[in-house]
A = this chain, B = another copy of it.
């Protein structure tokens, strides 16, 4: 009877039908569910297994019946185009791309250490890499009537999710039209993740994948696409996911003054060793591993690693993969959507008891990461891409026979 009662209570919770998650995930918020994998595991795989791919939900996970699912495409001359899941899969060629998604709030915890910000306290693993399969948004828009006449007035493509808050407001976002319709933009209406149906947490049955662009525009559980002269009017497009000067606070912020985050800047982080790790002096060599990625299809061309807090630097080896997987083919120019994993092995400095390991990456526009957090601090704690710093202690051998 108690159990029955509990189930009734639970079922009035909008999160009660959320899927099960892998227990290894580090949970930042249960309702809505937001979680990241342990960093050491992240760099074990070039393709992040879906179960440990970071989860970033704004709202309860909607339960969508694939048989009755409909995708509405609006704002084009022919009126509304409505596609079933089957039509999306059969009327348009399937394209596959490997793309890294990163939350705007990845590494927010480092900003919190400078001064409190508003948002989930993400570590360094709100970023993951997957292979996505689906129809090209470009193909669907062309089928729905997109053409040169539309290009004259349209500037944005808006997306609406099927996830809703208690008032019925759905998640929404938009991207610039040129990204959506360009052949090189590679925007997908994805129905597969790592060769399987999308998991519930990643937008089953259909999500947008906007490679090179902040996670927040990669709308999940996609219900509606609208071609428009205006950006999405959603909270997340207008009053969130924007960057500000470190001097701007909640009393002075004018959200209209900053552009919505789209392409993300150059990023990298050290996944191993962990901050605070203890290294045995007998190890002699230290291996440092991490990831590096840049937005806008800009390819990471170099990662510099320092063992002395940034005084001297060595160049890390870029590896497409963690454990002897096949190397990835070189991306087309401007279409480097996937991260690079990297590692460097170096002798332990003989005289130090503590090391500050630092990494910084460079992309093919030669953009670099800023040195320190305070000058890029912002009230929402987004775009946290300063050099990543990890302190480790060296344990001297106790017995030297």
Q: Which residue in chain B gives the minimum CB-CB distance to A368?
A: B370
Tell me, in angstroms, the Cα distance from A371 to B374 when the chains sit together: 11
Interface members, chain A 246-290 (any B CB < 8 Å)? 246-248, 258-259, 261-266
Knowing A184-B178, A313-B247 touch, does A371 contact B375 (C-beta < 8 A)?
Answer: yes
CB of B245 within 8 A of CB of A301, answer no
Q: Which residues of B contact A119 (CB under 8 A)?
A: none
- Nearest-neighbour CB distance to chain B for A250, whole angstroms, equals 16
CB of A246 within 8 A of CB of B184, answer no
A158 an interface residue at 8 Å Cβ cutoff?
Answer: no
Binds B, one of A43-51, A93-101, A359-367: A359-367
CB of B248 within 8 A of CB of A315, answer yes
Interface SS, A side: loop
Interface members, chain A 376-401 (any B CB < 8 Å)? 376, 383, 385
A304 an interface residue at 8 Å Cβ cutoff?
Answer: yes
CB of A375 within 8 A of CB of B178, answer no
Q: Which residues of B contact A385 (CB under 8 A)?
A: 368
CB of A258 within 8 A of CB of B301, answer yes
Q: Which residue in chain B gives the minimum CB-CB distance to A155?
A: B333
Q: Which residues of B contact A372 (CB under 8 A)?
A: 371
CB of A247 within 8 A of CB of B375, answer no
A62 an interface residue at 8 Å Cβ cutoff?
Answer: no
A314 an interface residue at 8 Å Cβ cutoff?
Answer: yes
A295 an interface residue at 8 Å Cβ cutoff?
Answer: yes
- Nearest-neighbour CB distance to chain B for A317, whole angstroms, equals 11
A39 an interface residue at 8 Å Cβ cutoff?
Answer: no
Q: Which residues of B contact A302 (CB under 8 A)?
A: 243, 245, 258
Knowing A243-B366, A366-B243 touch, does A360 contact B333 (C-beta < 8 A)?
Answer: no
Q: Which residues of B contact A266 (CB under 8 A)?
A: 367
Q: Which residues of B contact A366 (CB under 8 A)?
A: 243, 261, 263-265, 383
CB of A362 within 8 A of CB of B178, answer no
A selection of 16 A-B contacts at a CB cut-off of 8 Å is A178-B332, A243-B302, A243-B362, A246-B312, A247-B304, A247-B314, A247-B315, A258-B301, A258-B302, A265-B365, A296-B365, A304-B375, A365-B367, A368-B370, A370-B371, A371-B372
